Amino acid sequence: MGFGHILSVRPFHVDVPYLEALRERWEEDCKAFIMPWGHMIPTLEDVAYLTGLPVQGEPVVGLERRDYYDDIVELLGPEFVAGRRRPIRSILLGSLLEAVGLRGRRRGPLETLDEFCIGVRGALDLGDRSEERSIRVFVSYLLGRLLFATQSSQMNCKFVLLLWDLAQAGRYAWGAAMLGHLFSLLPSSSQRSQSTGGFTPFL
């Protein structure tokens, strides 16, 4: 599906102060980071090299609907809409976190990053779902919490519709969409907020 390389990246630490300093150098008018040595523009080549995500292929364009209730029940399961009123347009990221068995999992004060990651892998639990549904739940979690993260606690359901056909999902240009999403969030984050959405480890 195009996520193999990014899932095999060794654990690393995101330096938040460094990220904040970099974000302050973003110039919206020229869509570049202004550095002492000149402009620095993240490119699709950088995305392909650093993340391994495909940058060529079908565009990642979700279908906008008024209500995704039936789609979510069929693709992910009824537990993702339980107790919620229609129309359903977003999935709570907490429900995806719980579905993969990672709710409440935090790095301990004496735990190394490698030890934490081993514990997370051991905690992953997709229950008794079918293989296809389990893959859809995990990929939805990956999309909502990593590649297309926002400052919201919800993920737009339009991304889940891209997982109807798992074979087709491997033909999407996930890397290009990730870079576009990150670019769309940088202007607002650099001006008004204390955190950046999008796949910030790429920066």
State CA 9 to chain mean position distance: 15
What integer pLDDT is reported at residue 189 of this predicted model?
A: 52
What integer pLDDT is reported at residue 182 of this predicted model?
A: 87
Collapsing DSSP to helix, strand or coil, 155 comes out as strand
Does a structural domain hold residue 199? no
Look at the chain and report how many structural domains it folds into.
1
What integer pLDDT is reported at residue 130 of this predicted model?
A: 75
Task: Give the pLDDT confidence of 4-15 residue by residue, as tens digits.
Answer: 887 777 767 778
Which band of pLDDT confidence, cut at 50, 70 and 90, is reported for residue 118? low
Which band of pLDDT confidence, cut at 50, 70 and 90, is reported for residue 54? very high
Does a structural domain hold residue 197? no
**Can you tell me which residue has the tokens 């292929």?**
57
Does a structural domain hold residue 23? yes
Does a structural domain hold residue 190? no
* Boundaries of domain holding 45: 3-185
Identify the residue with better confidence: 141 or 127.
141
Does a structural domain hold residue 200? no
If you average pLDDT over every residue of the chain, what do you get? 80
Does a structural domain hold residue 192? no
Task: Give the pLDDT confidence of 129-178 residue by residue, as tens digits.
Answer: 677 888 888 888 888 888 888 878 888 888 888 888 888 888 999 999 99
Does a structural domain hold residue 114? yes
What integer pLDDT is reported at residue 152 of this predicted model?
A: 81
Asked if the model's pLDDT at residue 38 lies above 70, the reply is: yes
pTM: 0.79
Burial 6-26 (b: 16+ CB within 10 A, else e): beeeeeeeeeeeeeeebbeeb
Does a structural domain hold residue 119? yes
What integer pLDDT is reported at residue 173 of this predicted model?
A: 94
